[in-house]
Structure 1
């Protein structure tokens, strides 16, 4: 997709972005109550106080006025499944029966390019409506699903990571590939899509039970051959799943050790869930540079368990938040923050709002090794940003009028907000979503 040069754009609003993790550094963010964001050719030129920056603009430069709203980097969702869009909110007593009853039959349809593209278009528009500008996305075993996703993403000029699922056992025959064939197709897709425009490829073994040792070893070899690709998979989500892995890989010390022994622990590796890891597992994640995608909504939905923020933070594991659609029941990162806060409380810890917004922006960018590219307003970063409206609903308006500081304001948005709070979404400085006023 050819993008024409863009002239300087100026946006006036309250500005928020992060430069550190608030859990470990108190002055971790920049907050400009009356701020100005300058964008040129799809990149951030400057972000700061309106009074300081306005004087740098040539006379007559138009300024988009979003006063009363908050501009911040777009949300980054580090774990979700675009083929599961149409089966979201499907009832099941647990993870494994949910996969058998709903997930696998739904994914069967994605060998059809037209179907895959129609779902990809809806999926991406839904992300943008919720303020998510980057995501790490699971496709299906079908290469057609990957092509459809990246074609739809390129049409919107979005920075997205995605990949073909690899699984060669313990799944229906209609979704089963082979160890060699699945990895060979993945390599072909890497060569076709990785770093083409804003596309990034993620090597995607579904989870250890659906791959033979041979497939996992070949996947590790592929990851070593293409070190700047991503790796994404699931680990330690559900107690029954953990027992299953133990029976399939009795030689492994832990579920995570299965992946480690296959060469799949490195930077740019994103592990979804990480609920039942022990201290040695978390230490190994931190040592390897692998990151955890925390999926509170789906974990509550499937009854899988509660993520241990304190144990992960003690090991200094890179953390991010994720919706995990379709086990997750919302595309909204604000609703995901809502659930993450409650999960933390149930585990006996406290998650401040500034930390939640960090995890959904710069924290996710750092987890993906993309700091300086997305997730903040440093000069030269790609201008993916959103406009949040603290008065989007009557309840939000009433509560935020009474907020006395930034933490209260962000907490209200996280606990009471959803897609309605996203007034606009921008990708590389171009508006890709504008909220329509409700007719209700």
Structure 2
């Protein structure tokens, strides 16, 4: 039994959509998780699992243990512009974000922000993420190096934007060459994955979008990560530039960018045709309720998405998003759904923040549910992290405790974060 580790505590995961699977919620009030070389090899009630591993040391975890959160859409270069006042999307990019991203011309700046970014992720219980860097090739190198050092599962790729502002502009040729160099340099290392990353339709020429489609076809192990139908002004600008396209999604489709490996952030202004095409292709949406509210963009239509059975995950979208906490983002998703008279069950919200995001990113076999064979990324949640939270959850049911965490919690509710069965962050009092 040498090299094995065991953890005892209240275990909770939602590996499938609870609306479709009556057995989706897996809960052991007194559970045991056994880990070998970072992989879960046993899970179940303590009284059933412990006799099989009599000589394995057991660490007791005080709190509710859930899979590590998976952020399906976040911008690490924007974290220093979180809470930037006063604009909707397009003006906010020009005024706040593009100037901040120009600083990434310096590799040292990218290194420093990468370290700060991963610290924030782990403090909030996020162990995997799909991340936007900048147009600079070394912004990806810095991010991947920091993720590799921490053993985290991370997907990213150089931003393509040959129509970007001065200082944030590549060319179709340089964008392709740098993307090819990055995927050669990082493919197969640690828990890293590559994502083709055109910023959005307005910042790439037709030539670059066409080349992006060729890149995606040439690299079947890569994701495609971009923005879609986030803001009404953005949608209008896209319609004006691409008058022959049926809708915003059709712009990407015409260049071969709509596949089962495509992750589109936002999607809050989608036509029925777009939803049908997303479902047909297997592409999905990273729902970002915090940033949608902050930029005045609107609320995601869960009812429409569910009618079309769209693949969904959850993203913080820092820095338009205002919290790194995927717990709190799940609570905001509930509020966004209710604004359209839809109800988001707290177990489904947890699913979206874990296994749902994992499915969207094509890593559901690796993370998201703490099942046997998966990587042992998990978080210990403290239901008594604040006096109000402790009062609200005292004597409450599991569903009530989980919902209270989603509505009232922040980073203080994360007591510990584990990556591949090893402690990666622990709250200090």
With normalisation by structure 2, the TM-score equals: 0.98
Deviations for 1:118-150, whole angstroms, at most 9, x for unmatched residues? 000000110000000000000000011010000
Name 1:316's counterpart in structure 2: 309
* Secondary structure at the counterpart of residue 173 of structure 1: coil
Tell me the equivalent position of 1:117: 111
CA distance in 2, matches of 1:9, 1:379: 14
Tell me the SS of whatever aligns to 1:237.
coil
Contact 1:424 1:433 in 2 (8 A): yes
The answer on 1:162 being equivalent to 2:156 is yes
Deviation at 1:114, TM superposition (A): 0.9
The match for 1:78 is 72
Does structure 1 retain, via aligned residues, the 8 Å contact 2:65–2:380?
yes
CA–CA distance in structure 1, aligned partners of residues 410 and 326 of structure 2: 8
Q: 1:347 aligns with which of 328, 340, 343?
A: 340
**Is 2:57 the counterpart of 1:65?**
no
**Residue 7 of structure 1: how far off its partner (Å):** 1.2
Distance 1:270 1:94 in 2: 23
Q: Is it true that 1:381 corresponds to 2:360 in the alignment?
A: no
**Cα distance in 1 for residues equivalent to 2:19 and 2:232:** 29
Whether 1:55 and 2:51 are equivalent positions in the alignment is: yes
Q: Name the counterpart of 1:41.
A: 37
SS at match of 1:217: helix
In structure 1, the residue matched to 2:143 is 149
Tell me, in whole angstroms, the C-alpha distance in 2 between the residues paired with 1:178 and 1:195.
27
Residue 46 of structure 1 contacts residue 377 of structure 1 at CA under 8 Å; is this kept in 2?
Answer: no
2:17 corresponds to which of 6, 17, 21: 21
Q: Does 1:425 align with 2:417?
A: yes
Partner of 1:184: 177
Query: 1:272-287 maps to which residues of 2 (within 5 A)?
Result: 272-287=265-280
Moved over 4 A (4+): none
Partner of 2:393: 400
Cα distance in 1, alignment partners of residues 377 and 87 from structure 2: 39
In structure 2, C-alpha distance between the alignment counterparts of 1:182 and 1:377, rounded to whole Å? 38
Aligned with 2:286: secondary structure? strand
Q: Secondary structure at the match of 1:34?
A: strand
Q: Give the deviation of 1:379 after TM superposition.
A: 1.2
Q: For 2:96 and 2:322, how far apart are their aligned partners in 1?
A: 14
Unaligned runs of 5+ in 1: none
Residue 6 of structure 1, CA deviation: 8.0
Return the TM-score normalized by structure 1. 0.96
Find out whether 1:230 has 2:223 as its counterpart: yes
Deviations 1:80-136 (A, max 9, x none): 100001111001221111000110000001121111010000001100000000000
- Give the whole-Å Cα distance in 2 for the aligned partners of 1:390 and 1:312: 32
User: CA deviation digits over 1:397-437, x for unaligned, max 9?
Assistant: 1111131x221111011011111111111111111100111
Secondary structure at the residue paired with 1:202? strand
